[in-house]
Structure 1
Amino acid sequence: MLLMYKTGMCVETLANLKEEHIDFNGALLRLSGEIVKNREPLLLPYDETLVQLLSVLVNKNDEIRRAYKKDNKFVFITKYGDQIATGPSNNNIQKRLNRYAREYGLKNINPHALRRGFAKSLFEKGANLTDISRALGHSDLSVTTKYLYLDKNEVAENLWRFL
C-alpha cells in the first residue's frame, strides 16, 4: 500500500514489478515500458522509508524463493514464492487491500484511491500538473485532473497565487 501511495504506481505495474526495476542507490524505480500501462518507460523516485522496506522485502523474498525452489525476481510474491498476481485483474492485490482496510478500520482503500492520494499530495506540495500526469502514466491531462477531484473553489484559490 505504501509503495502505491508514495509512487502512484498502478496495481498492474505493482504486480509485475521485479527487482531489476529497483535502483537502491538512486532511490528510483526504473520501470520499463513492458510493465507500465501506457507502455512508456517511467522513473519514479522514492524516499528513505521505501529504500529500507524494499531492501528488507527483497532479502526475505530471496529466502522464500530458495526454500520453495522458485526462480523469479518479482518483488511481490506469495508465501510460496510465486508471483502474487498473475491475472489481468490482479485481484489478489485488491483482496489484500480489502483485508487490510477491514483489519485497520480504513475506508476507501483501493488502488485508485492510493493513486489519487499520491497525485493530490504532490499537487498540494506544488508539483506541476504535467509532472504528476507523467508520473501516473496518463496520456491526457484531463484524466489527471479527474484524479485530483478539484472543485471550482480549489481551482479559484490556486489561481489567486498567480494573479
Structure 2
Amino acid sequence: MKTAVYFDLYLEFLLSRNLADTTINNKARVIQRFLNKFNKIEITRKELYEYLNELYKRGICVTTRYQYINTLKNFYEYLIAIGIDINNPFNDISLKLPPQKNVNVLYKNEVKEIYEMFESNENLSAYQEFLFDFLYSTGLRLDELVNLKINDFELENKAILVRGKGSKERIVFYGSKLNIMLMSYLTARRSIMSFNRLYHSYFVIDFMTGQPLKAHKIYSEIVKVGKVVDRKLNPHLLRHSFATHLLENGCDIRYIQELLGHSSVSTTQRYTKVQIKHKIATISKYHPRG
C-alpha cells in the first residue's frame, strides 16, 4: 500500500472527528512532509533520528517539536488500530515540554487608555476599534471570529453561537457598549455587501472588497493598534485579558470556562495565577510603598 493511501485514510479519520480546519491542516502538513521525506511507512532507527535532528537544525522550538512528534505518533497508532502490521517508531521518543510561559494580559487601566485613544487618535480607525472591542468583549479566538456567520447572532438577547475547537458549540453574550458598535458595523457591512453585489453570510468582511476577512488581516489590524498605542497587542492577548478581568471582578471560574470554550476547568485555572501576579504587579506599580 502506498504512503498516499495511508495518508488519505488518516485524513478521513481526522475529518470524521470534526476537528477545526486549522488543526487538521496542521496535522496533515506534518504527516505529508514526513512521508515525502522517506516515501515509506517503516523507517529505521537511524532514519528516525535523522528526522528528529532535522527538526532541531531547522530551529523549530521544543513545543512545536513536541506537537510534531505527537502528531506522527498518533498517525502510526491509527494505522496499527486499523490492522496495519507495523511498529510505532515514535513510541520510545520522550520529549519534555518547557515550563508553561506566563500569560500576558493588559491592565484594566491600559484597556481604558486604549479606548480613550480610539476617540482621540486619528491614526486609529473605527474599524480597528470594532475589531479590538469585539475580541476584548467576547474573548473569542481569532479563528472563531473569522468563521462567524451573520445567523450566529441573536441580536435581541445579545448572544452569539460560537463554534470552537472540535466544532464544540457554546453561547457567548456581549454587553450594551459592544452592541452599539455592532449595530453600526452591521449597517456599514450591509452597504458594502450591496455595493459589491455580494451575498455571503460571513460576519467579518474586508471593507474594501466585501470579501470575508482572513485571520492574518485581523491579526495585522490588532498589531497595528498596538503600535499606535505603544503596546504589544495580538488577538489572544485580548482573550487572556477578557478572562482575567472577569475573574478579577468576581466572575465564577466555571462560567469563564464556558465562555472561553475550555473543555477542562484546569485550562481556565491558569488565569487564577495570572490574577494573583497581576494584583501583585499592580501594588508594586501604583502603591507608594509598593
TM-score normalised over the length of structure 1: 0.81
What 5-or-longer segments of structure 2 have no aligned partner?
Answer: 1-131, 280-290
1:80 maps onto 2:205 in alignment = no
Q: How does 1:103-114 map to 2 (within 5 A)?
A: 103-105=228-230, 107-114=231-238
1:9 maps onto 2:140 in alignment = yes
- Tell me: higher relative CO, structure 1 or 2? Use CA pairs within 8 A at least 6 residues apart: 1
Work out the CA distance in 2 between the residues paired with 1:152 and 1:6: 22
Query: How far off its partner does 1:123 sit?
Result: 0.5
Query: Residue 25 of structure 1: SS of its match in structure 2?
Result: helix
Query: How far off its partner does 1:46 sit?
Result: 0.8
Alignment correspondent of 1:145: 269
The structure 1 residue matched to 2:251, chosen from 113, 127, 134, is: 127
Work out the CA distance in 1 between the residues paired with 2:164 and 2:222: 21
Alignment correspondent of 1:102: 227
TM-score normalised over the length of structure 2: 0.47
Alignment check: 8 A CA contact 1:7 1:45 kept: yes
Larger radius of gyration: 2
* Structure number with higher helix proportion: 2
Alignment check: 8 A CA contact 1:19 1:58 kept: no
Work out the CA distance in 2 between the residues paired with 1:122 and 1:69: 41
The structure 1 residue matched to 2:218, chosen from 93, 97, 101, is: 93
May I ask how many residue pairs the two structures share in their alignment? 146
- Please give the root-mean-square deviation of Cα atoms over the aligned residues, in Å: 1.9
Query: How far off its partner does 1:5 sit?
Result: 0.8
Work out the CA distance in 2 between the residues paired with 1:28 and 1:153: 30
Work out the CA distance in 2 between the residues paired with 1:73 and 1:152: 42
Would you identify which runs of 4 or more consecutive aligned residues in structure 1 move more than 4 Å?
150-154
